Amino acid sequence: MPSKRILFISNGHGEDNHTSHVIQTLRQLCPSLEMAAMPIVGEGKAYRSLDIPIIGPTQTMPSGGFFYMKRLYLLKDFQSGLIGLTWGQLQAVLQYAPNCDLIRRHE
């Protein structure tokens, strides 16, 4: 039977950590699963520590993903390439997703 492919999309460091626990359990239950991730915020360190492929660009922004707490951070994020980063992440997901059996978004 061909292996199944799962894409995990997360929106923050905490979500990356929670999802990494799910990934570890899935690896034990079904080692043949192909899993990849797209962390929207940050570098995806939790995924990288498990050798889960990251399908698109990542970057740590000045706001750390919390620009809503201080509006100046949003401007700094824009200056650091937020629009290009977001566009690249969207393109990566749109390209990768059609080959997935399950896409799990965690927020």
- Backbone CA torsion sign across 74, 84, 52, 106: positive
Write the Ramachandran bin of 42: left for phi over 0, alpha for psi from -120 to 50, otherwise beta: left
Number of domains in the chain: 1
How much is the pTM? 0.87
pLDDT digits (tens, 9 = 90+) for 2-51: 579 999 999 888 899 999 999 999 999 999 999 999 999 999 999 999 99
Under DSSP, the state recorded for 101 is: S
Average pLDDT value for residue range 48-68: 88
Q: Which two tokens stand for residue 39?
A: 């962390």
pLDDT value at residue 97: 93
Run of H or E residues at 91: helix 82-96
In this structure, of 43-47, 55-59, 60-64, the range with the lowest mean pLDDT score is 60-64
Q: 101: domain range? A: 5-106
pLDDT digits (tens, 9 = 90+) for 66-104: 666 677 888 899 899 999 999 999 999 999 999 998 776
pLDDT value at residue 84: 96
Q: What is the dihedral of CA 87, 98, 19, 85, to 10 degrees?
A: -10
The domain that holds 16 is classified in CATH as 3.40.1260
How far is residue 58's CA from residue 105's CA, in Å, rounded to a whole number? 17
pLDDT value at residue 12: 85
